Structure 1
Amino acid sequence: MTRGSPSSAPALDRIRVGSAPDSWGVWFPDDPAQVPWQRFLDEVSRAGYSWIELGPYGYLPTDPARLTDEVTARGLRVSAGTVFTSLHRGPAVWDETWEHVSRVAELTRAVGGEHLVVIPSFWRDDRTAALIEPPELTAEQWRHLASGTERLGREVRERHGLRIAVHPHADTHIDTEEHVTRFLDATDPDVVDLCLDTGHYAYCGGDSVRLIETYGERLGYLHLKQVDPEILDGVVRDGTPFGPAVRQGVMCEPPHGVPELGPVLTAAQGLGIDLFAIVEQDMYPCPPDQPFPIAERTRRFLRSCGA
C-alpha cells in the first residue's frame, strides 16, 4: 500500500478540499516567473478542486464583481484571503496593518469567503538569510502579539464578518510546537482560530495529529502540505532559510513526504466541524507546466483518503 493512501478510506464528509495559487508557484501579486491568474483558475478547476484561496492580494482581480464572475464561470468558490502581519511590534504598526487587512477582508467577504488566514512576518529574509530581527520574541513582544491578534480577530469579525485563522509558518515567530502552543494559550479562542499547515508544522518539528488532538477546539482551517524528510535534514543541518529550502524541493508532492495526510484528515474529521482543507504545495519558482499534473495527482490521492 502507498504510504498515506488507505485502500478503503471512510468518507470525510466534514472536509472541504481546495487549492491555492501557492500550489501553482505564486508568491507575489505580480511576477514574470508565475503563471497568469487566468491559467491558475482554469487549471485548478480542471484538476478537480471546488474551492480556492485568493493568494497574494492583487494576483487575482480585486474588483469583486469581476472576480466573482471569473471564479463562478469555472465552478469555483472562495474559502479565504491571506494577510501577513507584524503585530508583535506593538500598537505602532496597527494603522498600517489594518489598512492592508481591511482591504483583503473586504474583497474576501465580497466574493463569499469566510476566513482570513493571518501569517506572521518573517524574522529572516527568505532569500538572503539575513536577520530582520531576532528569532525569539521578548515577553513584551509576546504580549503585543497576543493582544494585537485578538484585536485583529474582533475587528475582522465585527467589520467584515470573517474569522481569522493564524498560520504557524517556517522562519516566523509562530513556528515550533513550543511557540504554537504558547500563542494558543495566550489568545482568546472566541476570536482567534488556528490555521494548521501540516507542512510548515512538520518543517518545524511538530506533530499535526497530536496538535489536533490537543488543541482541536482551536482548529478553524487547514492547509495540506508535505515535507521531504531527507531534504529537510539538510535544511536543518545547514540552517537554510525557507525560500532557498523551497527551491531545493523541501515541500513535496503527496503522498511522498511527511506527515501522512490520511491520519491528519481523519483527526480533523473527528472534530465534528466543517473544515476547509486547502492544498498548498510551496514551489516558487517553478516551470509553468509543472503545477497542473501535480494538482491532479494530489486531488486523486486526497480522494483515496476519503476527502
Structure 2
Amino acid sequence: MTPVLDRIRVGSAPDSWGVWFADDPQQVPWQRFLDEVAEAGYSWIELGPYGYLPTDPVRLTDELDRRSLKVSAGTVFTGLHRGPAVWESTWEHVSQVASLTQAMGARHLVVIPSFWRDDKTAEILEPPELTAEQWGHLARGMERLGRQVKETYGLDIVVHPHADTHIDTEANVERFLDSTDSDLVNLCLDTGHYAYCGGDSVKLIETYGERIGYLHLKQVDPDILAEVVANELPFGPAVRRGVMCEPPGGVPALEPVLQAAQNLGVDLFAIVEQDMYPCDPDKPLPIAVRTRKFLRSCGA
C-alpha cells in the first residue's frame, strides 16, 4: 500500500530546467520553464536565481496565476564566514530577494553558503576548511540574518548544505546546527548534496528533526560520484558529467527520506532539484513528468 505523505508539499525549481544564472544563453527562457513546470504537474516553484523570473511582483503574480503556480521560497547566496565586513553587501542582496519572496506569499528563504572553489573554472577561492574564528562568524552571521529576515520580511531562513561550500559533510552540518539557535536558523536538507558529501539524510532527519525546515529532493549517481571523488572534481564539472541523476536511479532512496520527513509531523516543502546545467532545452520536461509520477507513487 502506498504511504500517505500528507505533510509533504512537492514542487520543482528552475534548477531542474538547467537554470543556474539570472541570464545565460544556454538556459531555457523563463516563460518556457513556467509552462513546462505546470505541465509536468507541479503547483509549487522556487524563484531560482534572482532576475531569472520577472522581479515585478504584479507581473510575476499574473504569470503564476495563469499557470496555477505558487512560490515556496527565494534563494540567496552568502559569505558570512568572512565576518561583519560583508554584512552590508549581504543584506543588500538578501533584501532584494526577500522582498520579492514576501510579495509572492512565500515563507522561506533558502540560504546557500559561498563556494570555496569556483564551480565553472575550478579555481580555489578560499581554503576548504574554516578556522574557529570563521566558524564563529558564520554561526553569528546566520543568526543575525535569520533574526533580521524574520523581523523585516516575516520569512524563515533555511540554510542549504552544498557541495564545495563549508557546510557540506555530516560533521560540518552537525557543527553548524550545534552552534546556531534553532529559533533563528534551520536547515534546507538537499538530499543530493548531502549524499554527494557522504551524509545520510534519513539519519539527519531522525537526529535533528526539529531543525529540518525544508527539503530539496535530489539523487546522486554513485558510479559518477566515485569518479568525482577519485579525481577531486569541482561541483560544476561533476554536474556536467551527470552526477545528479533522475530518480529513482540514484542515491539516497527517496521513499525512506520522505517517510522520515512525514514522521516529523510538520508541513514541509519538498522541492525537486536535479542539477543539469547546461542541458539541452528539450531534456527537462520529460524528466520532470517522470519524476512527478515517481513521487506520486511514493505517496507525495
TM-score band, normalised by the shorter chain? over 0.9
**Cα RMSD after superposing both structures:** 0.4
Aligned counterpart, 1:3: none
**1:170 partner letter:** A
| Rounded Cα–Cα distance in structure 2 between residues aligned with 1:60 and 1:271 | 33
**1:232 partner letter:** L
| Rounded Cα–Cα distance in structure 1 between residues aligned with 2:102 and 2:224 | 39
| Rounded Cα–Cα distance in structure 2 between residues aligned with 1:226 and 1:264 | 11
Q: What's the offset of the Cα at 1:126?
A: 1.1
Does 1:137 pair with 2:119? Answer: no
The correspondence for 1:163, drawn from 156, 161, 175, is 156
| Rounded Cα–Cα distance in structure 2 between residues aligned with 1:79 and 1:256 | 26
| Rounded Cα–Cα distance in structure 1 between residues aligned with 2:90 and 2:293 | 39
Aligned counterpart, 1:203: 196
Unaligned runs of 5+ in 1: 1-7
1:154-182, CA deviations, whole angstroms, 9 ceiling, x for partnerless residues? 00000000000000000000000000000
Does 1:97 pair with 2:90? Answer: yes
SS in 2 for 1:276: strand
SS in 2 for 1:222: strand
Does 1:11 pair with 2:8? Answer: no
| Rounded Cα–Cα distance in structure 2 between residues aligned with 1:127 and 1:69 | 35
Aligned counterpart, 2:291: 298
Aligned counterpart, 1:77: 70
Aligned counterpart, 1:270: 263
| Rounded Cα–Cα distance in structure 2 between residues aligned with 1:72 and 1:161 | 23
1:94-243 residue pairs with structure 2 within 5 A? 94-243=87-236
| Rounded Cα–Cα distance in structure 1 between residues aligned with 2:6 and 2:116 | 38
**1:197 partner letter:** D
1:128-157, CA deviations, whole angstroms, 9 ceiling, x for partnerless residues? 221100000000000000000000000000
| Rounded Cα–Cα distance in structure 2 between residues aligned with 1:252 and 1:99 | 35
Aligned counterpart, 2:237: 244
The correspondence for 1:24, drawn from 9, 17, 39, is 17
Does 1:37 pair with 2:19? Answer: no
Count residues in correspondence.
300
Q: What's the offset of the Cα at 1:127?
A: 1.8
Q: What's the offset of the Cα at 1:9?
A: 1.8
State the TM-score, normalizing by the size of structure 2.
Answer: 1.00
SS in 2 for 1:149: helix
The correspondence for 1:281, drawn from 260, 268, 274, is 274
SS in 1 for 2:215: strand
1:223-244, CA deviations, whole angstroms, 9 ceiling, x for partnerless residues? 0000000000000000000000
SS in 2 for 1:191: coil
| Rounded Cα–Cα distance in structure 2 between residues aligned with 1:95 and 1:110 | 22
**1:169 partner letter:** H
| Rounded Cα–Cα distance in structure 1 between residues aligned with 2:221 and 2:295 | 18
| Rounded Cα–Cα distance in structure 1 between residues aligned with 2:65 and 2:206 | 36
1:43-65, CA deviations, whole angstroms, 9 ceiling, x for partnerless residues? 00000001000000000000000
**2:106 partner letter:** G
1:179-205, CA deviations, whole angstroms, 9 ceiling, x for partnerless residues? 000000000000101000000000000
SS in 2 for 1:38: helix
1:52-63 residue pairs with structure 2 within 5 A? 52-63=45-56
SS in 2 for 1:297: helix
| Rounded Cα–Cα distance in structure 2 between residues aligned with 1:255 and 1:228 | 10
| Rounded Cα–Cα distance in structure 1 between residues aligned with 2:57 and 2:50 | 12
| Rounded Cα–Cα distance in structure 2 between residues aligned with 1:143 and 1:40 | 39
More displaced, 96-105 or 126-135? 126-135
SS in 2 for 1:125: coil
